[in-house]
Amino acid sequence: MPKKQSKSRSELVFLPLGGVGEIGMNLYLYGVGPPHKRRWLMVDLGVTFGGPREPGIDLILPDIRFIEEERDNLAGIVLTHAHEDHFGAVMTLWPRLRAPLYATPFTAALLRAKLIEEGREGDIPIEEVACRSTLEIGPFTVELVDMAHSIPETNGLLIQTEAGTAFHTSDWKLDGTPVVGAATDRSRIRKIGADGLNALICDSTNATRDGVSASEADVAKTLSEIVAAAPHRVAITTFASNVARLRSAMDAASSADRHVVIVGRAMKRVIQVAEETGYLPSGYDILTEDDYGHLPREKVLALCTGSQGEGRAALARIAADAHPRVTFARGDMVLFSSRTIPGNEKAVGQVQNNLVNREIEVVTDADALIHVSGHPRRGELSQLYEWTKPKVLVPMHGEARHLEAQAGLAREQGAGSIVSARNGSLVRLCPGPAEVIDDAPAGRLYLDGKILVHAGEGPVEERRRLSFGGAVAVSVVLNAKGDLVAEPQVSVTGIPMANSDGILFEELMLNAALGVLDGLPRPRRRDSALVAEAVRRAVRGEVNAHWGKKPPCSVMVTVV
């Protein structure tokens, strides 16, 4: 039930529609004004990725029905950085909102590159803004604050309104040597705290881990040592967007007198944008897949997409010896300079096993310091609380265990009011007591090919059932009197050929269909719907009796 709210007092509220209770699909709304007349600011518009429970679905997007209905009151959209889970839904969902879209140069360039790739150049107007700038977006004054992360130009947002001030950290860590891009602006964050901060909305991803995150520069040193000592080819796979990691790999190749070969479209796009925006200097010896086969083994460093085991990415195809131009041989080395996103463990394990079976050495972050997270551990969170001294803390960006771990840490540190929210929770930040005051519709949309459908609707659930139990189709032809014109036809997919006694399933199903038809009085056989349901139940029951599973069964009744 909604809690009582003042009808006239202006409030600053926070409403996550994605990213709170999960990692990925980030979409955050800030509202200001009285409850009946709020203006809204959207922060990020990201995706998550389909898994085994969403067969046929590559991208999952946040359900934006709430803000669609409020789009006349949507002042603008600010993208904090260019990771897919923060900006990957823009191309699909922005046309439903058509609000001003703000992004810093690197993020804007990557978004434009994606639009060009999809043949949609110019479809979405992007307001490119400078790093560390201050924007006036309707009733919101939004200052961009440098935050170190695993991609250039990650911005925390200081959001100032007539009702109060909030600091949205986005993804961040305290890294004084990030290799590429700006370090977290510690002095500005301290000043934000000194000026008085109503609410801190903070990344929770690593809130279960003690200490502080290692620096990107430490990874660069390790990569250089491993590449220098390797006797044969070296391949490195990482997130394509991690420009600092790409640069560290290229520097390692340069020091070891190796050529860099880029394998994978996404990585090529990021490198091109990074060069255009000055985050990668020109002059690296970068070659293409076409050059790979002409190079001596000891002179190659391949940068490959596919760190998450994606079946269509470069590394999975190479590991399966199915890439048209790139192959590895016994004694070569592959470095997984990335973490495995929860849910991708099996896919990554399969790629690694394929490599090991071919006697290719696999090195992960369990073996050497070849990856560091872009998110804060507990020591960094504690430091941020000390600097900002917020009156209110709302943990965001994490699964339930991460959110509660940060809430527990904040309590230990003596933080002020802590609000536990989930997607769809409308949180009053200030003035007055910080609490969940209402809820809004929040859910998931599936991009099914080119069609956007609500989770729970469409064919995805049916596909899931098919994956467990196969499918049966039965065709029955009757005349106008209800007599069978021909023997029913049975077609099966994904069902065993015979039961444990060797009796064919098609024969069992045919007998079940004939039996139920014989048992129906002729007048009732004139009702096609009744006949179809009776046959469906009989066939499913027969399969279940012999197999223990109830496959989806469709029955088509034709009257001639």
Give the CATH number of the domain where residue 427 resides. Answer: 3.60.15.10
Together in a domain, 51 and 178:
yes
Confirm whether 2 is domain-assigned: no
Is residue 275 domain-resident?
A: yes
Question: Of the candidates 408, 430, 454, which is a domain's last residue?
Answer: 454
How much is the pLDDT for 501?
92
Any domain includes 463: no
334 phi and psi angles, rounded to 5 deg: -125, 125
Report pLDDT for 1.
40
Strand, helix or coil for residue 471: strand
Alpha-carbon dihedral sign for residues 15, 30, 82, 368: negative
Together in a domain, 153 and 223: no
pLDDT at residue 5 in the model: 52
* 205/74 same-domain check: yes
* pLDDT the model gives residue 458: 67
CATH number of the CATH domain containing 261: 3.40.50.10710
Residue holding tokens 């592959």? 334
d(CA 306, CA 344): 11
Q: What pLDDT does residue 460 have?
A: 77
Q: Within 13 Å, how many C-alpha atoms sit on residue 133's CB side? A: 15
Is there a single domain that holds both residue 339 and residue 448? no
Whether residue 6 is contained in a domain is answered as: no
With a cut of 70, list the residues of the chain below it in pLDDT: 1-7, 52, 458
* Tally of structural domains, the chain: 3
Both 359 and 379 in a single domain? no
Q: Classify residue 548 as exposed, middle or buried by CB count within 10 Å of its CB (0-12, 13-18, 19+).
A: exposed
Residue 141 lies in a domain: yes
Question: CB within 8 A of 318, min separation 6: which ones?
Answer: 235, 263, 304, 326, 327, 328
Assess if residue 464 is contained within a domain: no
Report the Cα 363 to chain-centroid distance in Å.
25
Q: Which two tokens stand for residue 53?
A: 């429970």
**pLDDT value for 6:** 53
The CATH number for 507's domain is 3.10.20.580
166 part of a folded domain = yes
**pLDDT recorded at residue 196:** 97
Report the alpha-carbon distance of residue 48 to residue 513 in Å, rounded: 44
* Residues 355 and 429 grouped into a single domain: no
- Regarding whether 450 and 350 lie in a shared domain, the answer is no
One domain for residues 109 and 144: yes
Which residue segment(s) compose the domain that 436 sits in?
Answer: 11-211+373-454
Report pLDDT digits (tens) over 297-348. 999 999 999 999 998 899 999 999 999 999 999 999 999 999 998 778 999 9
Rounded CA-CA distance 99/137 in Å is: 11
Regarding whether 147 and 34 lie in a shared domain, the answer is: yes
Q: Out of 300, 335, 363, pick the residue that ends a domain.
A: 363
The verdict on 171 and 114 lying in the same domain is yes
DSSP states of 207-241 as a string? TTS-S-PPPHHHHHHHHHHHHHH-SS-EEEE--TT
Q: One-letter amino acid identity for 302? A: A
Whether 192 and 231 map to the same domain: the answer is no
Residue ending a domain, choose from 363, 394, 427: 363
Residue 146: HSE in the Cβ half-sphere, 13 Å Cα cutoff: 18
In a domain, 465, yes or no: no
Task: Check whether residue 357 and residue 378 sit in a common domain.
Answer: no
